[in-house]
Each structure stands twice: as C-alpha cells, then as structure tokens.
Amino acid sequence: MTNEANTSRPAAAAGTFALGGDLPVARLGFGAMRLPTGTFTGPVRDPEDGIAVLRRAVELGVNHIDTASFYRRGDVVANELIRRALAPYPDGLVIATKVGPMRGPDGTPFGQATPGQLRGLVEDNLRELGVDHLDLVYLRVGGQNPPGGELIADRFAALAALRDEGLIRHLGVSNVDAAQLAEARAIAPVAAVQNAYHVQATADAALLAECARTGTAFVPFFPLGGGLDPIDTTRLEKTAARHGATVQQVALAALLAASPVMLPIPGTGSVAHLEENVGAASIRLTPEDIASLAG
Ligand SMILES: NC(=O)c1ccc[n+]([C@@H]2O[C@H](COP(=O)([O-])OP(=O)(O)OC[C@H]3O[C@@H](n4cnc5c(N)ncnc54)[C@H](OP(=O)(O)O)[C@@H]3O)[C@@H](O)[C@H]2O)c1
C-alpha cells in the first residue's frame, strides 16, 4: 500500500533519527501496549501473536520499540514478549520504557511512584527485558489527564541518579508540559518527549517545535487516535485514495512529515496492521494533502 518501492528496511524509508545523539533508529517505530490486550478493557491476546508481530517488526527494520512494565494483562506481559521474541537482541535495537505509574493488584496503572520507588520499577524492566541497562527510560507523569500542574524534579533527579549509575542510557519525559520539560532539563539531558499527539490532536505543536529546536525526539503516543480522542478519518479518505493508501497510513505519514524529530510508535497486535503501518514510512504527502487532514 505504499507509493514508493520498498527498501530492504521499509521502517527507515522516512529516515532515521539518533536518539540521545547516539542511538540511530528508523523514524517509524512500534508501541507494545497493544500486545497483551487490544483495548483497555478487552480480553487478553494470544502471546504467540504478539511474538509474531515483534519479529515481523524487526524484519521490517523497526528498531525503536516502546514498552512499559505495566503493559500487561493477566499473564501476558509486553516486556516478557519482547524478550521471548527478540533476545538475544539484534545490534541497534533500541527498547524504550517508561516508569512512573505504580501497578494496582490487577496490574493496571494506579497512582504515581515516589522518587524512592523508581529504582524498583527500573529493576522490574531490567529483569523482564533481560538486559543490564535500559536504552531510554521516560518518567511518565500524571494520570489520564492532559500534562501539567505538578513538579517532577525529585522524580526526574532519582532517574538521573540511576543513569549516572549506568542502569539507564538516556532519559525522557512523558505526558509533560513545557514547564515540566524545562524542569527536567535543568537536572539532566532529555533525549525524548512522549506525549499524546496525532494528525488532528496537535495541542502540543509548540512543544514539538521546542523539541525540533533542541534536537529532542518527539514520540507521539496514540498516533492513530487510539485514546479518548479518535481521528476523524473521513477527512483522510481522499488523500488516502490519491496515494493508494489507508487512512491509518495517511495519519502516520502526516506525523512523519510534521517534523524530522517526530518518531511515531503505532501500536498493534496484528501483523497485517503492522505491515500497513510500516508502509506509511514510504508515503510522501504534499503540503496540500497535509492541509486537508486537520480536524
Ligand atoms: N506515554 C503514555 O502515556 C502512553 C499512553 C498510551 C500509549 N503509549 C505508547 O504509544 C503506543 C501507541 O499508542 P496506542 O497503541 O495506544 O494507540 P494507537 O497507535 O493510536 O492505536 C492503536 C489502535 O489502533 C489499531 N490499529 C493499529 N494499526 C492499525 C491499522 N493499520 N489499521 C486499523 N487499526 C489499527 C490497534 O488495533 P489492533 O491491535 O487490532 O491493530 C489499536 O486498537 C502504545 O503502543 C504505547 O507504546 C504511551
């Protein structure tokens, strides 16, 4: 479904980005949240399907996988699927994880960790992924509400100390506003910001511009509108038809076109959807296309 010939590494067809300045990744990545379960209340998914998706992602050149220890349902744990599917990990694979939310008894995120609890959460990720250090760890701030309104310095400083110890290579922040990003940067370098963003949910455009100005990766979560703010796909249909693409591919291509620091991580538990999403990296939208997509 792409409009250009596939390369041997289709996920890199929209270029690469050096996370933290030294970890080059294909700009089209993968989010692991949908491997244990497709929806927030849905049934657990077959772990063998998740393993197939992860292996296919790497075959397609995806080398930026976003995960978290709290991506789990029942016995199916995203981090463990990543380890089962991909370890020993191929050279150049970057696994990003996030800490901050604590888990309630049923595994769902519940409340926020104190600075002192973050080490244990980092160690959970190290153990589940079977690694001696983590490539990129985000401090995930807040609950389901928009970013802002709380201080993060103490928690970010706790992660910076773990970075100094060698347990973490790069730090990121997730679900933050500009003030919180500045607060974190005053403590340690911030390699990536991960906030909700899609073609029609662009409230963080100024934060994206700030990331572009400073060479910081901007990793949009819910890039396909998988959260509470779905995409009005009717606005994408004409462009999709013109490119022989799907509306999901157009949504991802628009993000890739928005900024060279934009690294989408669409989530799926389906090999067919994964292949389609990776195909978006080869689609080149025109400025007229892009202007027609906004909500
Ligand atoms: N930092 C944070 O707070 C935070 C919050 C949420 C997510 N994340 C990260 O961001 C990643 C992306 O977000 P997300 O996975 O929640 O949402 P998303 O990428 O916006 O959308 C995923 C949803 O779209 C479906 N889908 C995927 N590809 C499709 C396609 N080609 N055609 C039709 N449907 C398709 C998936 O269903 P199927 O599985 O059935 O394909 C799933 O229901 C997550 O996986 C996670 O790593 C971070």
pLDDT tens-digit series, residues 135-161? 999 999 998 889 999 999 999 999 999
pLDDT of residue 103: 84
**Which residue(s) pair with 66 in the sheet?**
31, 96
**Which residue lies with its CA nearest to atom 13 of ligand 1?**
222
Coil, helix or strand at residue 174: strand
Measured from the Cα of 33, ligand 1's closest atom is 45
pLDDT of residue 2: 35
Question: How far apart, in whole angstroms, are the C-alpha atoms of residue 129 and residue 109?
Answer: 19
Query: What spacing in Å lies between the alpha carbon of 55 and ligand 1's midpoint?
Result: 18
Q: Report the half-sphere exposure of 214 (CA within 13 A, side-chain side).
A: 18
Two structure tokens written together for 17: 């980005």
pLDDT of residue 1: 33
Sign of CA dihedral 107, 111, 117, 119: positive
Q: CA 115, 195, 101 angle in degrees (round to 5)? A: 30
pLDDT of residue 3: 35
Query: What spacing in Å lies between the alpha carbon of 35 and ligand 1's midpoint?
Result: 10
pLDDT of residue 80: 98
Estimate to the nearest angstrom the gap between the alpha carbon of 257 and the chain centroid: 17
pLDDT of residue 5: 40
Contact assessment for residue 192 and residue 217, using Cβ atoms and an 8 Å cutoff: yes
Measured from the CB, is residue 248 less than 6 Å from ligand 1? yes
Measured from the CB, is residue 31 less than 6 Å from ligand 1? yes
Question: How far apart, in whole angstroms, are the C-alpha atoms of residue 128 and residue 280?
Answer: 31
Please say if 197 is a catalytic residue: no
Measured from the CB, is residue 100 less than 6 Å from ligand 1? no
Q: Taking each helix axis as running N to C, give the angle between helix 47-59 and helix 271-279, from 0 to 180 degrees, rounded to the nearest 10.
A: 30
Query: What spacing in Å lies between the alpha carbon of 243 and ligand 1's midpoint?
Result: 23
Q: In the chain, at which residue ranges do the beta strands (DSSP E only) sit?
A: 16-19, 23-26, 30-31, 64-66, 72-73, 76-77, 94-99, 101-103, 109-112, 134-140, 168-174, 192-196, 217-221
Question: How far apart, in whole angstroms, are the C-alpha atoms of residue 289 and residue 239?
Answer: 6
Query: What spacing in Å lies between the alpha carbon of 242 and ligand 1's midpoint?
Result: 25
Q: Taking each helix axis as running N to C, give the angle between helix 271-279 and helix 247-258, from 0 to 180 degrees, rounded to the nearest 10.
A: 40
Two structure tokens written together for 157: 């400083």
Measured from the CB, is residue 221 less than 6 Å from ligand 1? yes
Query: What spacing in Å lies between the alpha carbon of 258 and ligand 1's midpoint?
Result: 19
Q: Residues 17-76: pLDDT tens digits?
A: 999 999 999 999 999 999 999 987 889 999 999 999 999 999 999 999 999 999 999 899
Buried-exposed string 153-162: b where 16+ CB fall within 10 A, e elsewhere: eebbbbbbbb
CB atoms within 10 A of CB 287: 8
Single-letter amino acid code for the residue at 85: A
How distant, in Å, are the alpha carbons of 211, 222, 256, 276 from that of 230? 24, 9, 19, 19
Contact assessment for residue 97 and residue 138, using Cβ atoms and an 8 Å cutoff: yes
**Which residue lies with its CA nearest to atom 36 of ligand 1?**
268
Q: Which residues of the chain have pLDDT under 70?
A: 1-7, 105-107, 295
Question: How far apart, in whole angstroms, are the C-alpha atoms of residue 175 and residue 219?
Answer: 11
Mutate to test the pocket of ligand 1, among 138, 144, 145, 222 (most ligand atoms within 8 A of CB): 222
